[in-house]
Amino acid sequence: MSKVNLLTGAGRGMGVDIARAALAAGHHVIATGRRPDVIEKTLGSQHDNLLAIKLDITQLDEAKAAVKTAITRFGRIDVLVNNAGNFFAGYFEEISPGQMRQQIETNLFGPMNVTRAVLPAMRKQRDGHIITISSAAGLIGQEFCAAYAASKFAVEGWMESLRYDVEPYGIRTTIVEPGFFRTELLVDASTTWPALSIDDYAPRTAPMIQTWKAMSGRQTGDPAKLAKALVSIVDQETPPQRFVAGADAIDGVEAKARELLKQVMGSRELGGELSHGAGV
């Protein structure tokens, strides 16, 4: 069955692959981004099922306007794919407070804005599916990723809790945790390097930047395959609450789960005692 998909970050990278896969499957796609002309040029303006709309996800008014335009054109929104995001790399102390706020603004408040704009329509329909692209870094912290991991860990908590809010209205949720895919996340338009410089970190910062830059375009994951997998999830009657994508992400999340269980068991004796007795 053809569904109406609203997709953010459709101008480049993974968003292009998701839009193409959805269109190829016969779905309607409202492809949003800062440059709708670029979206049309990339995806082809001849598609009857495609509507390109300008949307800066950090602006709630633009999100509401995009939803209104989409519903006027297609009558409903069945699926929201929160895909837009960026990457502020660096050691925590070298990331300026302003950069940290920008990271959270885009990767957390951005999808929150679009979801807030879409939910009234989905509640009215008593049907819908919200998919938010997180990252393996939303479950596993790592060096040089303090800002990015903070934003994605926050996305995980928000989406995991949102599920309970919207399930009574027939709205399903899926969090997607990709590993390293050949998207455009590491190109200059999506990646911001540390604004500050601290002598203690200097011997590590420069090599780390070069390491990350060298990964761009060489990641093991195929974004076209991930896009097709997401379209198949959209078609499922009971979609997964989490979708860990890529062998590297699966291995990493399994290791993290074992580590968490070990830490929980290590806390049992002292932590468990805190629940007993009258307290202070």
**Residue ranges of the domains in the chain?**
4-247
Cα separation of the two ends of the chain: 60
Q: Which residues have a Cβ under 8 Å from the Cβ of 208 and sit 6 or more positions away?
A: 89, 143, 144
| Structure confidence at residue 280 as a pLDDT band (50, 70, 90) | very low
Q: With H, G, I as helix, E, B as strand and everything else as coil, classify residue 27.
A: coil
Which residue is catalytic, options 3, 91, 151, 152? 152
Question: In the predicted model, what is the mean pLDDT of residues 211-232?
Answer: 80
**Whether the Cβ atoms of residue 83 and residue 14 lie closer than 8 Å to each other:** yes
What does R_g of the chain's alpha carbons equal in angstroms? 20
Task: Tell me the average pLDDT of the chain.
Answer: 91
Q: What is the pTM of this model?
A: 0.91
Q: Is 64 a catalytic residue?
A: no
Question: In the predicted model, what is the mean pLDDT of residues 217-228?
Answer: 78
CATH 3.20.20.70 fits 4-247, yes or no: no
Question: In the predicted model, what is the mean pLDDT of residues 260-267?
Answer: 94
Poorest-confidence range of 6-10, 22-26, 125-129, 194-198? 194-198
Q: Is 134 a catalytic residue?
A: yes
Which residue is catalytic, options 3, 91, 134, 135? 134
For 184-201, the pLDDT digits (tens) are 555 555 678 888 889 999
Half-sphere exposure of 249 (CA within 13 A, CB side): 21
**Whether the Cβ atoms of residue 190 and residue 135 lie closer than 8 Å to each other:** no
Phi, psi angle pair for 78, to nearest 5°: -90, -35
1 has a pLDDT exceeding 50: yes
**Whether the Cβ atoms of residue 181 and residue 221 lie closer than 8 Å to each other:** yes
Structure confidence at residue 268 (pLDDT): 86
Structure confidence at residue 174 (pLDDT): 98
Given CA atoms 219, 220, 222, 223 in this order, what sign does their dihedral have? negative
For 46-99, the pLDDT digits (tens) are 788 999 999 999 999 999 999 999 999 999 999 999 999 998 999 999 999 999
Q: Is 169 a catalytic residue?
A: no
CA 23/CA 108 separation, integer angstroms: 27
Helices (H) and strands (E) in the chain, counts: 9, 9
221 has a pLDDT exceeding 90: no
Q: Which residues have a Cβ under 8 Å from the Cβ of 254 and sit 6 or more positions away?
A: none
Q: With H, G, I as helix, E, B as strand and everything else as coil, classify residue 121.
A: helix
Which residue is catalytic, options 3, 91, 148, 151? 148
